[in-house]
Structure 1
Amino acid sequence: MKRKNKKSFTMFEIPELVCFLLLNLDLRLRTWIPELVCFLLLNLDLRLRTWIPELVCFLLLNLDLRLRTWIPELVNTTVKLQWEPQCQFQLRHLQDGARITALVPPQLEGNWVSTGCEVRPGPEFLCAKMWKMRLAEKFRLQFYYRDGGCREPAYSLTIKGKLRLRQASWITRGATETDHHVNKVGIVFHSQAAMQELTGRINLTCPGFPSRGGRWAPGRVYELYNSKSGRDCRAGLGFSMLELGLLRVEKQQHPQRRLVEELFLGDVHTDWAQRMNYRPTGYQRPLQSAMHHIHPCPACGIIYRSNEHQPPILPRQPDLPLELQGKWVSRECEVRPAVLFLTRYFIFQERSRSWEGYYHHYSDPACRQPTFTVHASGRYVRGPRSAAVPGGTDFVFKVTHAKVTALDRASVLMLNASEEGTCGEAGSWTLGEEQDITGTQGCASLGITLPHNEYELFKTQLDHKQRPLLFIGERPTDGSSPDRPEKRPTSYQAPLVQCAGTVETAARHGQRSQPGRASVLTATPWATLLGVSLYLLAVL
């Protein structure tokens, strides 16, 4: 007999599902209703909340009076939704932990895949597949492309070796250090053009390779490295697996009880010359478990089924116009080299070509222990499409003003130790008080110089929920600023998600909204009516 497929409900079918449960469950089992409704109110996308009035009206009409004691709890949730702007909700959601747990020690067994086309400094376009066996054996495939959409395969690298977990990192909190040993590295070319370009670089360090009169040909596997024979022709590719020296595994509990597991590997140095010797202190874009990944993820299955002879060709992404207007916020607690944990919040006004940025820094990988905040602003000039990175657009940002708020005692002590005239008013820094550093032309203690220009790279694309994402150029690994055209990034930081399409009055995202200042985007008529109705019913 054929097994019947289980019914899977979409978000738009939830009202019917909840109503069915309410009609058919015993009254004694309805005590979980407030928890369910509050969960739906807090976790659903704003566009899917339109059916909530219908659901609440059903509850009010059909529930026994004795069960209405939970209405005040729902009122509080409704008021929070009404008065809290979506951008602030997103950042508070991150600071509350966002249902993310880190596995210590990390569990690496299984298959891990890229969720899309990655852009590394250079630029390099690639996607990866990695799997680890229980006996410390690991295998990794890296597929490289000639285009930014990962649709024109250039060559593939096969990496075999062993990996053993060591200890929690003393440098990067939340990470685990490893001992890793690469046994073999092979290369397969997928195009004549890629073969001609790379073989010249390989033969600079390995003249006469391949040996014994062999000739390069697409589709064949050539061994670039073998730990037993001593052959090593990797230098011409700038290839290093030092990224395996640092890793972190996170579990995220998404709505509908969907589990997502992510594997973060060490970052790759933005300077090609430093890549072979760099010990990572940050992370690159994570891989996700082939069993527990975001949905939908067309690229995940394509990459999982690929091999070195059949590289994945990812679905074509729509070419979105780059529109900065609005507000953009971090999707996750971000990690940068030199042990920096932060969230970012940007406001762009395209008509005046002005921008504001809030950088909240933390001392922990969950972004729960704030250290200081930088509020910077200025103007920007939009340039042409990037000649170096397909899909990107060049920008020049001028930073003219900045303010700093110290949020822990260590930051207060550091700022008060600044020399006179180098970082605000010397000796006057206090906990939680914002101070303007424009008059001292920045803050030497924090590495901020005013005014200055930054040469940037931007692009936009849609995520798996069809929400706009904004990618901003990756910062130099050495902590410097991209203050010259030759330092313009060729790769991207973690993306920001758009949380508001129109610009409202800027409020620091670390603060609660004040009553009476409703968000234009979230204070809808049904929210007001619903809150009043529930309150009246609660006091009757």
Structure 2
Amino acid sequence: MELLLLFSVISFPFAVRLNVGSAAGSSLNSVSPLASGKSIGRHSAECHHMLKHLYNGAQVAVHMPPNITGQWVSSSCEVRPGPEFLTRSYRFYHNHTFNALQFYYRDNHCTEPTYSLLIQGTVHVQQASWVIRGGTEADYQLHRVLLFCHTSEAARDLSAKLRRDCGLEEAVKPKESYELWDHATGRDCTGPLGFSMQELLLLRVERHYRHGDPDSQTKELLLGDLHTDVSRRKVHKPSSYQPPLQSIKHDHDHSCIICQIVSRGSLQQPPSLPPQANVPVRVQGHWVSQRCEVRPGILFLTRHFVFNRDGHTWEGYYHHYSDPVCRLPTFSMHAIGHYSQGQPSAKVMGGTEFVFTVTQMKVTPLDLATTSLLNIFSGDECGTEGSWRLGVQQDVTPTAGCAALGIRLPHTEHELFRMERDAYGRRLLYNGQRPTNGSSPDQPHKRASSYQPSLVQCSPGNHGGTNTGREGDQHFRLGGGCRGCHSDRRFHLFALLIWPLVILQIM
């Protein structure tokens, strides 16, 4: 389903890496499919409203450099590639030291702890990222990593891994702590656990509040993403974010019950979240993003999915932006296709397997840079040659997609879905996390083992306040280069031609 977005990491390097255009969410362009309301039925107005008022209508402020001092905790049971089910409780101090607790579980609701890690070290906030607009770079140094197993089963499993890969002679026992990392001696036995703290290389702190209501303020810490290939975690440089951690200090009304539970956890006494049943996956209806989403490759976007009542056709509206609060649109895509729901996943507890096919695609350029890029492609590579106009939608199905955006039609992907309800009883929909290397899950064994940010079901009467999406007074730099992208002379020429347009758009 996300081929529309992620293929552009490979085939659209300069437009993506240079952040040409804008970002998704707080103000959709009037020429977008959502704004026109012509093709998504009677629920379009409600969905459009929710996309204009991201973050549940709260105002968002980002201060740079970020102040990360304090305790930050998970607000839900997180799913990492593998899969791994965990909660996190990180505490950062004024002297740049930190204590990070990671609690791992056997189940997808984080009710049965298996083992915990205590990570100690230092972290130093650096400059604003030249690559990830809105993010801040940091350096870290690990001093110590302790392992504590809570069950005999986990102790046996980890003991076998450590004996095989790290030469650990003694068997790991439950209820005892073991040192896996010691900076002083150079000891490192974290490899068998797929452990890495590369997430500390990229930071972003967001403050959410409602105008005139200081008690409603919450703060979130977003740390860098993990590579979807566990074996590459230690060398991965983050290019997007994990689910945010919430500040305990700013949870004034203790409305985040899970946050309070996680905050009280320790290495020996891990938090156990309240048990709950899996919510059946029923996708029919309209679903939209709750925040400006970030993807590897410096993509900012919002999504709107429509699953028709016939049970086998779907539509997707993807709005791409150049800024991290989704206010400056670059282009939008409207995908049409069909899907089939499969069996519960045997690999990822709580997940359900799907297969999606995209058969039709329409593209709308929403800034001059994207329009220029589309027009430099000759022949039958992307719509009618030289015909692209700013704000005018074009069907690229007759040309089997759009080479400029990396889209090939028809295309099939093997997906993973799950569904939950939030604290307000709203239905949330998660679909599979995209591979970090930009590839597509076009085969069953490539199906994701973790998830993207949740979509919320559009429902009548769920209106929030106005989202200004402020980024403070910080001026963000554009990032150059395209690490891991394919090179093409046409794109080098495009970069030289389009730079003046890029500069004009951010002045």
* Residue aligned with 2:173, SS: coil
Q: Cα gap change, 1:281/1:392 in structure 2, threshold over 3 Å: closer, same or farther? A: same
Partner of 1:349: 308
* Residue aligned with 1:197, SS: helix
CA distance in 2, matches of 1:445, 1:194: 48
Q: Cα gap change, 1:232/1:407 in structure 2, threshold over 3 Å: closer, same or farther? A: same
Greater share of helix: 1
Q: Which amino acid aligns with 2:63?
A: L
**Does the alignment pair 1:392 with 2:351?**
yes
CA distance in 1, matches of 2:55, 2:104: 36
Partner of residue 63 from structure 2, selected from 69, 82, 103: 103
Partner of residue 264 from structure 2, selected from 302, 305, 309: 305
Q: Cα gap change, 1:494/1:347 in structure 2, threshold over 3 Å: closer, same or farther? A: same
Partner of residue 478 from structure 1, selected from 411, 431, 437: 437
* Residue aligned with 1:327, SS: strand
Partner of 1:200: 160
Map 1:457-468 onto structure 2 (within 5 A).
457-468=416-427
Partner of 1:423: 382
**Residue 83 of structure 1: CA displacement?**
11
Q: Is the 8 A contact 1:95 1:367 kept in 2?
A: no
Q: Which amino acid aligns with 1:131?
A: R
**Does the alignment pair 1:231 with 2:187?**
yes
Map 1:97-496 onto structure 2 (within 5 A).
98-207=58-167, 209=168, 214-254=170-210, 256-257=213-214, 258-293=216-251, 296-496=255-455
CA distance in 1, matches of 2:43, 2:192: 57
Cα deviations by residue, 1:293-340 (Å, 9 ceiling, x for unpaired) = 486322111111110101110012233221111100000000011100
CA distance in 1, matches of 2:417, 2:57: 28
Q: Cα gap change, 1:161/1:203 in structure 2, threshold over 3 Å: closer, same or farther? A: same
CA distance in 2, matches of 1:352, 1:240: 41
Q: Which amino acid aligns with 2:390?
A: L
Q: Cα gap change, 1:385/1:484 in structure 2, threshold over 3 Å: closer, same or farther? A: same
Aligned length: 416
CA distance in 2, matches of 1:344, 1:481: 18
**Residue 254 of structure 1: CA displacement?**
3.9
Q: Which amino acid aligns with 2:285?
A: G
Q: Is the 8 A contact 1:254 1:260 kept in 2?
A: no
TM-score (normalised: structure 2):
0.80
CA distance in 2, matches of 1:263, 1:225: 25
Q: Cα gap change, 1:196/1:254 in structure 2, threshold over 3 Å: closer, same or farther? A: farther
Partner of 2:474: none
TM-score (normalised: structure 1):
0.75
CA distance in 2, matches of 1:96, 1:223: 43
Q: Is the 8 A contact 1:96 1:368 kept in 2?
A: no
CA distance in 2, matches of 1:182, 1:314: 29
Partner of 1:25: none
**Residue 132 of structure 1: CA displacement?**
0.7
**Residue 103 of structure 1: CA displacement?**
1.7
CA distance in 1, matches of 2:43, 2:152: 59
CA distance in 1, matches of 2:378, 2:233: 36
Q: Is the 8 A contact 2:158 2:172 kept in 1?
A: no
**Residue 270 of structure 1: CA displacement?**
0.7
Q: Which amino acid aligns with 2:182?
A: N
* Moved segments of 4+, more than 6 Å: none
Q: Cα gap change, 1:476/1:229 in structure 2, threshold over 3 Å: closer, same or farther? A: same
Partner of 1:22: none
Q: Cα gap change, 1:379/1:446 in structure 2, threshold over 3 Å: closer, same or farther? A: same
CA distance in 2, matches of 1:456, 1:96: 27
Map 1:15-94 onto structure 2 (within 5 A).
85-94=45-54
Q: Which amino acid aligns with 1:357?
A: G
**Residue 96 of structure 1: CA displacement?**
12
**Residue 84 of structure 1: CA displacement?**
7.9
Task: Point out the more displaced range, 235-244 or 253-262.
Answer: 253-262
CA distance in 1, matches of 2:106, 2:366: 46
CA distance in 1, matches of 2:420, 2:57: 26
Cα deviations by residue, 1:359-401 (Å, 9 ceiling, x for unpaired) = 0000000101100001101000010001111111100001100
**Residue 195 of structure 1: CA displacement?**
1.4
Report the aligned-residue RMSD: 1.8
CA distance in 2, matches of 1:201, 1:439: 53
CA distance in 1, matches of 2:56, 2:88: 31
Partner of 1:530: none
Please, which runs of 5 or more residues in structure 1 have no aligned partner? 1-81, 502-540
CA distance in 2, matches of 1:352, 1:148: 27
**Residue 292 of structure 1: CA displacement?**
1.8
* Higher RCO (CA-CA < 8 Å; seq separation 6+): 2
